[in-house]
């Protein structure tokens, strides 16, 4: 690995100052599972690595009736180890359970997964489905960006030099709501999504009608997508095969997948339709308080 | 700038200080600086799990940890598993069940198994396979490893019920 400086600031303001002064030649280090590998192969060669794990703001993990605050450096194992998240933000816990293996989950953070901005990132469709808002600190102050607007291309995002993702905030969990994330991979574990779908739904008290829904899609476009039309057309609809099929068709209409070693464009389009329906169905079941037939790695 | 840093850690229960550059991984320092060569280098990109060690109780692949990040951390490596010259239940089960051939992946599998059994004393086969998915073995075909983990779990379970 190339030689670099290492800083581990304990104050957010110091981290922002360091990032600003180094003007793009520094990289934040959270779990390092992407960054260290990218430095090892020479794809990235920052002059300074700024370890952000000692910043209290980036370690916040707080779920209560005002919503969820997820610090950008919180590793996956803390996320799926949090009962409130498993119960009320299930899609996020689902994602964290299948990012790499257990060793990777000890270190990898959802904030890092988002900032790495890979099109197939497993946590981003869940952030989109759950209405996540990214809180970004920079030399000019703080700004907020919706999760679906954070990535702008493969490996590219809205962060400007000197800016740092601090946390992702989610609205309070509503009654009669549920969410799920699932990806399709040809192996059982340790693979990159061919297609990944996150969905969150809120039902009426009868459990039969959808009040609102949000669908996030991964690995089918240069960035993770919010399937806006598909999500909005579900509002007020009864849960049945026809409405879920229509949402799946609307989701398929906005994707632009590539053909690569994991699947052809046509295959990914087909799988998107299947997964959207299955994930919506699972989110509905969870919203009804039912247990879904899903185990990661199966 | 880019100078060596002193890092203070606890390794296998004892205090250890070492000098390293920021670019050195924990795996490099364990093996090359500290001579703890039980931890193996496999892929060096986080896929194979051969370099698994415990950092503050969590299993990590030491090839994707900078050694400077270990400041203040409590580390456990394969050298800290056997006690007073006696193999522990997991090591013994791997040995008796022939759950290894070339042995390069074994320290990582054993460390990862220790973390599984610590949290789940009666894992199912699915749970074992899922927990060990980040550890690759190119020799055994995994079945003997899974059976060794089951044997170690059963032995510990029996011991705890005595």
User: What CATH code is carried by the domain that includes residue A225?
Assistant: 3.30.390.50
Residue at A61 is within a domain: no
Q: How many helices (H) and strands (E) does chain A have?
A: 11, 14
- What pLDDT score was predicted for residue A297? 64
Q: Is A52 exposed, middle or buried (0-12, 13-18, 19+ CB in 10 A)?
A: buried
Cite the residue boundaries of each domain of chain B with CATH code 3.10.20.30: 5-80
Residues A24 and A79 reside in one and the same domain:
no
A64 in reach of chain B (CB within 8 A)? no
Residues A203 and A149 reside in one and the same domain:
no
- Shortest CA distance from B21: residue in chain A: A3
Q: Is A106 exposed, middle or buried (0-12, 13-18, 19+ CB in 10 A)?
A: buried
Residue at A58 is within a domain: no
Q: Helices B143-160 and B106-119: crossing angle, nearest 10°?
A: 40
Question: Percentage of chain A with pLDDT > 70?
Answer: 99
B99 in reach of chain A (CB within 8 A)? no
Mutation to test the B interface, candidates A29, A103, A105, most B Cβ within 10 Å: A103
Residue at A60 is within a domain: no
Alpha-carbon gap, residue B12 to B14, rounded angstroms: 6
Contact B23 A4 (CB under 8 A): yes
Residues A45 and A85 reside in one and the same domain:
no
Say which CATH number the domain at A102 has: 3.30.465.10
Nearest-CB residue to B112 (from A2, A3, A102): A102
Give how far B64 is from chain A: nearest CA, Å. Answer: 6
Residues of B in contact with A6 (CB under 8 A): 5, 22, 66, 68
A152 in reach of chain B (CB within 8 A)? no
Residues of B in contact with A5 (CB under 8 A): 1-2, 22
Residues paired with residue A163 on neighbouring β-strands, in sequence order: none
Q: Which residues contact A137 (CB under 8 A, 6 or more apart)?
A: A12, A16, A57, A163, A164, A166
Residue with tokens 């185990």: A295
- What pLDDT score was predicted for residue A190? 82
A282 phi and psi, to 5 degrees?
Answer: -65, -40
Interface of A with B in 28-47 (CB under 8 A): 29, 32-33, 36-37, 39-41
pLDDT band at B2 (very low <50, low <70, confident <90, very high): low
Contact B46 A33 (CB under 8 A): yes
Alpha-carbon gap, residue B37 to B53, rounded angstroms: 12
Residues B104-150 pLDDT 10s: 999 999 999 999 999 999 999 999 999 999 999 999 999 999 999 99
A81 in reach of chain B (CB within 8 A)? no
Residues A184-242 pLDDT 10s: 998 888 889 999 999 999 999 999 999 999 999 999 999 999 999 999 999 999 999 99
Report ipTM (2 d.p.): 0.96
Give how far B126 is from chain A: nearest CA, Å. Answer: 8
Range in A117-126, A136-145, A187-196, A280-289 the model is least confident about: A187-196
What is the per-residue DSSP string for B90-133?
HHHHHHHTT--SS-SSHHHHHHHHHHHHHH-SS--HHHHHHHTT
| Domain, as residue range, for A74 | 68-170
Alpha-carbon gap, residue A193 to A183, rounded angstroms: 6
- What pLDDT score was predicted for residue A263? 94
Give how far A189 is from chain B: nearest CA, Å. Answer: 6
Give how far A3 is from chain B: nearest CA, Å. Answer: 6
Residues A151 and A193 reside in one and the same domain:
no
Residue at A181 is within a domain: yes
Residue A225 φ/ψ region, left for φ over 0, alpha for ψ in the -120 to 50 degree band, beta for the rest: beta
Residues A144 and A198 reside in one and the same domain:
no
What is the CATH topology of the domain spanning B89-160?
A: DNA polymerase; domain 1 (1.10.150)
- SS3 category, A127: helix
- What pLDDT score was predicted for residue A298? 59
Residues A138 and A158 reside in one and the same domain:
yes
pLDDT at A275 over 90: yes
- SS3 category, A71: strand
Alpha-carbon gap, residue B81 to A233, rounded angstroms: 57
Q: Is A148 exposed, middle or buried (0-12, 13-18, 19+ CB in 10 A)?
A: buried
Residues A151 and A186 reside in one and the same domain:
no
Q: How many CB atoms lie within 10 A of CB A266?
A: 10
Alpha-carbon gap, residue A144 to A126, rounded angstroms: 18
Residues A41 and A119 reside in one and the same domain:
no
- What pLDDT score was predicted for residue A177? 98
Say which CATH number the domain at A42 has: 3.30.43.10
pLDDT band at A60 (very low <50, low <70, confident <90, very high): very high
Residue at A294 is within a domain: no
Q: Which of A130, A151, A170 is the last residue of a domain?
A: A170
Q: How many CB atoms lie within 10 A of CB B115?
A: 19
Residue at A297 is within a domain: no
Contact A106 B130 (CB under 8 A): no
Cβ atoms of residues A126 and A216 within 8 Å: yes
Residue with tokens 């990590």: B60
Residues B29-71 pLDDT 10s: 999 999 999 999 999 999 999 999 999 999 999 999 999 999 9
- What pLDDT score was predicted for residue A229? 98
Give how far B139 is from chain A: nearest CA, Å. Answer: 19
Residues paired with residue A106 on neighbouring β-strands, in sequence order: none
Residues paired with residue B53 on neighbouring β-strands, in sequence order: B60
Contact B23 A1 (CB under 8 A): yes
Q: What is the DSSP letter of A255?
A: -
Q: Which of A170, A203, A232 is the last residue of a domain?
A: A170
Residue at A56 is within a domain: no
Residues A159 and A183 reside in one and the same domain:
no
Residue at A99 is within a domain: yes
Alpha-carbon gap, residue A94 to A282, rounded angstroms: 12
Alpha-carbon gap, residue A37 to A187, rounded angstroms: 23
Looking at the structure, give the CATH architecture of the domain made up of residues B5-80: Roll (3.10)
When divided into structural domains, chain A yields a total of 3
pLDDT band at B84 (very low <50, low <70, confident <90, very high): confident
Cite the residue boundaries of each domain of chain B with CATH code 1.10.150.120: 89-160
Q: Which residues contact A2 (CB under 8 A, 6 or more apart)?
A: A39, A42, A45, B23
């Amino acid at each position: 690995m190339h030689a670099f400086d290492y800083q581990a600031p304990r104050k957010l303001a110091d981290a922002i100052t360091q990032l600003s002064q180094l003007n793009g030649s520094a990289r934040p280090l959270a779990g390092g599972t992407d960054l260290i590998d990218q430095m090892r192969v020479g794809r990235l060669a920052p002059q300074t690595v700024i370890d952000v794990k000692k910043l209290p703001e980036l370690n916040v993990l707080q779920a209560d009736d005002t919503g969820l605050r997820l610090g950008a450096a919180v590793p996956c194992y803390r996320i799926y180890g949090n009962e409130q998240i498993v119960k009320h933000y299930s899609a996020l816990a689902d994602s964290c359970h299948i990012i790499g293996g257990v060793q990777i989950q000890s270190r990898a953070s959802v904030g890092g997964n988002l900032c790495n901005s890979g099109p197939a990132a497993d946590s981003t469709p869940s952030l989109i489905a759950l209405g996540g808002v990214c809180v970004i600190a920079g030399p000019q102050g703080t700004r907020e960006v919706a999760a679906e607007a954070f990535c702008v291309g493969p490996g590219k995002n809205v962060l400007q030099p000197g800016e740092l993702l601090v946390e992702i905030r989610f609205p309070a969990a509503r009654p009669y709501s549920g969410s799920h994330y699932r990806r399709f991979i040809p192996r059982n574990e340790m693979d990159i999504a061919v297609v990944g779908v996150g969905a969150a739904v809120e039902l009426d008290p009868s459990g039969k009608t959808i009040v609102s829904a949000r669908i996030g899609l991964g690995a089918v476009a240069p960035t993770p997508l919010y399937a806006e039309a598909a999500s909005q057309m579900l509002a007020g609809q009864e849960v049945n095969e026809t409405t879920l099929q229509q949402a799946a068709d609307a989701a398929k209409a906005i994707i632009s997948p590539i053909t690569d070693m994991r699947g052809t464009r046509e295959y990914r389009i087909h799988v998107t339709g299947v997964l959207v329906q299955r994930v919506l169905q699972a989110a509905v079941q969870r919203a009804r308080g039912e247990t879904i037939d899903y185990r990661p790695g199966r | 700038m880019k100078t060596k840093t002193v890092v203070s850690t606890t390794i296998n229960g004892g205090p250890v200080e070492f000098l390293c550059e920021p670019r050195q991984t924990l795996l490099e320092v364990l093996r090359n600086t500290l001579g703890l060569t039980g931890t193996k280098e496999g892929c060096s990109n986080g896929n194979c799990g051969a370099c698994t060690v415990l950092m503050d109780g969590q299993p990590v692949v030491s090839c994707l940890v900078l050694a400077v990040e270990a400041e203040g951390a409590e580390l456990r490596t394969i050298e800290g598993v056997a006690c007073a010259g006696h193999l522990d239940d997991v090591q013994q089960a791997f040995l008796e069940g022939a759950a290894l051939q070339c042995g390069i992946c074994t320290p990582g599998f054993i460390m990862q198994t220790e973390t599984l059994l610590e949290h789940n004393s009666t894992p199912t086969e699915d749970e074992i396979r899922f927990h060990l998915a980040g550890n690759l073995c190119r020799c055994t075909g995994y079945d003997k490893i899974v059976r060794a983990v089951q044997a170690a779990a059963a032995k510990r379970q029996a011991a705890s019920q005595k």
